[in-house]
Each structure stands twice: as structure tokens, then as C-alpha cells.
Structure 1
Amino acid sequence: MSAALPAPGLSHVCDLHVELDPIREMGQGRAGHRRIIPIIGGTVTGPRLNGRLLNLGADWQTIWPNDVAELDTRYAMETEDGAVIEIINYGYRHGPPEVLAKLMAGEIVPADQYYMRTQARLETGDPRYDWVNRTLFLGTGTRQKLGVTVSLYAVE
């Protein structure tokens, strides 16, 4: 019989403080209600990555009939030392209807009252940050009126 495989660990990499433009409603699509939320900047702070989010990218959301928000983002950061790193972040946000209504109204809701989790893929051509090209990342997030905060963790 084989030895048990080790459970993966998580180590905090950074917090993404994402600034958003207002939601652009697209209407009903094939899979649900569609909307685009432009990403216009922000900051990156943490033990392994620091810098700023660039004014480009968006979250292309689909709200399913059961009120689960499918999050599908693509944007980029520039590190303090000038490396550009692409971020592709995919995940889900859901919770009780009254909590989701507060979020959509721009109210601050404690993060433990709803579920917002992501899986992120980072990519760069800068050799100083090549480690991001071969690391899996998980995120936990919270929504504000015109922003999102996502804490990214490397899967060890």
C-alpha cells in the first residue's frame, strides 16, 4: 500500500485591490444575465508581489438563474520593479438573496456572509517572476461598491 500523498498547503502571495468602473449591463445571454465590469487600476500588496494594476481588462460576468455570479476576469499588473504580469481569474460569487441585494446596492457586507472564491493563472515573460508561470493560485475575495479585493494564495 502506498503512503498517503501530502495535502497541498497555501501561502499568501498578495492582495489585489481592484478599482472598477460602473457595471455595463449586456442583458440576457445564452447562459444567464451578462455584464461587463471594466478594471481601471488598483494596487498589489503582499509578501511576494507588489505593484499596481494597470488600467485595462474587465470582469465578463454571467449571472446564472440561481443568482450565482460566474466571474471571468483578465487584467494585468506592473510590479514595483517594472515586470508586467497577466492575471486571468475565474471563480464564483453567491450567497443569500438579501446579502447579494446589499452587495449590488453598493453596501459593505462582511466577507463571511457570502462565497467569493477564484482560481487564478498568472503569466509573465520576465525571468525574475518566472515562478508565477508554474504556480497554481487560489483566491478569496470581497466586493465593494466600485472595487474588489482578492487575496491570492500559492498552492504549495
Structure 2
Amino acid sequence: AECRWEGERVRASQLGRSAGDWVRIHADSSVSVDARILLRTDDGAVIAMTYQGKADRPPADGGVIFTAPTFETDDERYGWLNRIQAVGLGRRTGSTLVYELYALTAGA
């Protein structure tokens, strides 16, 4: 699946076939997600993103996935990503899963 990230400070696409995700649907229909992906920014930086998540039911059934992404990069332009914890939610829009991510920081 193709991945595109569009944000205020980062615009990136999945780097080749560098993603893996593991989804478990439990007996009560809740969902656990474990995902890893490499992104290449539009200006050439490489960012590793890892996240775990939970949903009360599968996104195809209208469930919302709550996630907690972290990022790693050696590119100084995006070093701020190494210092944040993100939280987000994912919703299915047609055949696409769209995530909204928010950065948690310790302050100014």
C-alpha cells in the first residue's frame, strides 16, 4: 500500500516497499496494530516511523484507530522529530486509511 504524509512541517512518501504492519483482531473485535515504515521527505531526508495502536473494531467496520507514533532520523533538518511523541487517530475514508497526527512536546 502507498503511504503519503502531508503536514505543516513534513511532506513525505513511503520509501520503496519499506513498510510492515501487523494487525490482530481479537475475539471481542478490538484491534491491535504494530507498524513500521520508512519515509523519504520531498527534500530527500529519510525518517523511520514506528507506531502501535488500538481500535474498538476494524476500520473497515467504522472503527477509529488510536496510535502512538515515534520517529527517528539522522537528518538535522528533521531532528525535532527525534524529540517528540506523537499521538493520532486513523479513519477509513473510502478505500484509504487517513491518520491525523499530533506532536506532544515538553514545551517551548
Q: TM-score range by the shorter chain?
A: 0.7 to 0.9
SS in 2 for 1:56: coil
Give 1:76 deviation, angstroms.
1.3
SS in 1 for 2:65: strand
| Residue 65 of structure 2: aligned partner | 116
Give 1:42 deviation, angstroms.
2.2
Percent of aligned positions with the same letter in both sequences? 29
Any gaps of 5 or more consecutive residues in structure 2?
none
Deviations 1:14-70 (A, max 9, x none): xxxxxx2xxxxxxxxxxxxxxxxxxxx221111011021223212111111111110
Amino acid at match of 1:72: D
Q: Does 1:64 align with 2:21?
A: no
Pairing partner for 2:9 from 48, 70, 73: 48
Pairing partner for 1:82 from 37, 44, 60: 44
SS in 2 for 1:103: helix
Partner Cα separation in structure 2 for residue 94 and residue 42 of structure 1: 23
Q: TM-score, normalised by structure 1?
A: 0.60
Distance 1:61 1:145, change over 3 A: farther
Give 1:147 deviation, angstroms.
3.4
| Aligned counterparts, 1:1-156, within 5 A | 20=1, 41-54=2-15, 55-95=17-57, 100=58, 103=60, 109=62, 114-144=63-93, 146-156=95-105
Distance 1:58 1:143, change over 3 A: farther
Amino acid at match of 2:81: V
SS in 1 for 2:18: strand
Q: How many residue pairs get matched?
A: 104
| Residue 17 of structure 1: aligned partner | none
SS in 2 for 1:133: helix
Any gaps of 5 or more consecutive residues in structure 1?
1-19, 21-40
- What RMSD in Å do the two structures reach over aligned CA positions? 1.9
